[in-house]
C-alpha cells in the first residue's frame, strides 16, 4: 500500500484504531516531526488529545541515516549495540553525538510547545504514532520513556513498518497496530507518494489546531448541567 501523504496515512491508521475512539483516558503522542501529521489525523478521528513526544535518533557520524541509538524525553537512551560493535564506535563519539542531539531535543521541546506543559501520561492509554518503522530504535526509546511515567497501556501505531520491527515491538508494548508490513521493506519513504519533510511550523500549527478542536468539542457549562 502506498499512501498519498502523511495525512492520508493517518486516516488509514485511524480506521484500525477506532475501538479507542471517544475514550476519556486516550492520549495520542506523535514523534516529531513526521509523526505529527499522522498523529493529528489519528487524534482527530478518535476525538483524543494530541501531544508530541520528543525522540532524537543518534546517527553514526558520516552516515547519519544509520542509527547507533536514540534518546527521548526524560533522559532515556537506547543504543543499537550491533551497529556500535560492528563499526567500533568509541564512547567519546557516542557521547558527542548524544550531547548534540540532546540540545536539539530541548530546542524542539521549546519550539513546539512553548510554555504549554507536557500532557500527563500516568494511568492513561498512550498511542505512540510515527510515520513508519524501519529499525524501530526511536520508537523503542519512546516506549521506554513513556513506560517510566506509568501509563495504563502503550499502543504503538504506524501506517507502515518493517515486519521484523513490528513483531519485535509487540514484546515491548501492549499492542502494535501497523496498516502495512511490506516485504521487502525498502524504507519508510518508499511507501509515500509525498514524503517531504515536515517543518517545525507545521508541527506547531497542528498542535494548536488539535488543542482548539478539543476545546470546541467540550460541552458548554449550560449543556453539561
pLDDT digits over 16-25, tens only? Answer: 999 999 999 9
pLDDT band at 218 (very low <50, low <70, confident <90, very high): low
Predicted pLDDT of residue 223: 40
pTM of the prediction? 0.87
Predicted pLDDT of residue 76: 81
Predicted pLDDT of residue 35: 98
d(CA 200, CA 90): 32
Q: Cell 542531539, residue? A: 101
Q: Cell 492520508, residue? A: 8
**Are 106 and 91 a contacting pair, CB within 8 Å?**
no
Starting from the edge strand earliest in sequence, which strands make up the sheet with 55-60, in order? Answer: 55-60, 63-72, 76-79
Predicted pLDDT of residue 220: 43
pLDDT higher at 79 or 156: 156
Distance of CA 4 to the CA centre of its chain: 19
Q: Which domains does the chain have, with CATH numbers?
A: 6-55+108-217 (3.40.50.2020)
Residue 222: how many CA atoms within 13 Å on its side-chain side? 0
Among residues of the chain, what percentage have pLDDT more than 70?
96
Predicted pLDDT of residue 24: 93
Among residues of the chain, what percentage have pLDDT more than 90?
72
Amino acid at each position: 500500500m502506498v499512501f498519498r501523504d502523511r495525512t492520508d496515512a493517518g486516516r488509514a491508521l485511524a480506521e484500525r484504531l477506532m475501538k479507542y475512539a471517544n475514550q476519556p483516558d486516550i492520549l495520542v503522542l506523535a514523534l516529531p516531526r513526521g509523526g505529527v501529521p499522522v498523529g493529528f489525523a489519528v487524534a482527530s478521528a478518535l476525538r483524543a488529545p494530541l501531544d508530541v513526544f520528543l525522540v532524537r535518533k543518534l546517527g553514526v557520524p558520516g552516515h547519519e541515516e544509520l542509527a547507533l541509538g536514540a534518546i527521548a524525553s526524560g533522559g532515556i537512551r537506547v543504543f543499537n549495540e550491533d551497529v556500535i560493535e560492528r563499526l567500533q564506535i568509541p564512547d567519546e563519539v557516542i557521547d558527542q553525538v548524544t550531547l548534540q542531539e540532546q540540545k536539539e531535543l530541548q530546542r524542539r521541546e521549546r519550539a513546539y510547545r512553548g510554555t504549554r506543559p507536557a500532557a500527563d501520561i500516568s494511568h492513561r492509554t498512550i498511542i505512540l504514532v510515527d510515520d513508519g518503522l524501519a529499525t524501530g530504535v526511536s520508537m523503542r526509546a519512546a516506549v521506554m520513556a513513556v513506560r517510566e511515567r506509568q501509563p495504563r497501556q502503550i499502543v504503538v501505531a504506524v501506517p507502515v513498518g518493517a515486519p521484523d520491527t513490528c513483531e519485535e515491538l509487540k514484546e515491548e508494548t501492549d499492542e502494535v497496530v501497523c496498516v502495512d508490513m511490506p516485504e521487502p521493506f525498502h524504507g519508510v519513504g518508499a511507501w509515500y507518494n509525498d514524503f517531504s519533510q515536515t517543518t517545525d511550523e507545521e508541527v506547531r500549527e497542528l498542535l494548536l489546531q488539535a488543542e482548539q478542536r478539543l476545546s470546541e468539542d467540550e460541552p458548554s457549562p449550560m449543556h453539561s448541567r
